[in-house]
Amino acid sequence: MKTTFTLLFSLVFAFGSFAQSEWDVPEENTGMITKITATWCGPCRAEMPFLHELEAEYSDKNVTFIGVSVDEDKNRQAWLDMMVDKDIKGVQLFADGWSQITKDYAINSIPRFMLFDSEGNVSNLDADRPSSEEIRPTLDALLVE
């Protein structure tokens, strides 16, 4: 059984560096939403307010939010600055460009949102965006599995 803790750290070690912001390792397995974005991506930036709302709405639920940036290393400071400017919390990973994660999960465009169940199994590799009305019922169903 792959726990959320194991999945989090396999993502960190596989895909690059991370920035930690108010992150507590879950005491039990959780569902997980992983977002793949970049600082230069307009649609990614447009989803941020909706993602903040979703994170706040599910803050007392058994779910972990993880961000993965596919910015290139030359944009690392812009990524760090954006996390401060946009008050981005939680686990944020820096994958350094269209790296292994984009190959492993067949990511050809961003933003991409992926859902994993409480055992770390893939639930949906192309989930609805936070701005979509469909994301909440999908996430609710994942959390009761």
Q: In the predicted model, is pLDDT for residue 8 greater than 70?
A: no
What pLDDT sits at residue 113? 95
What pLDDT sits at residue 4? 44
Encode pLDDT of 112-123 as tens digits: 999 988 777 888
DSSP 39-84: TT-HHHHHHHHHHHHHHHHTTTSSEEEEEEE---GGGHHHHHHHHH
| Confidence at 42, pLDDT banded by 50, 70, 90 | very high
How large is the average pLDDT for residues 29-41?
Answer: 86
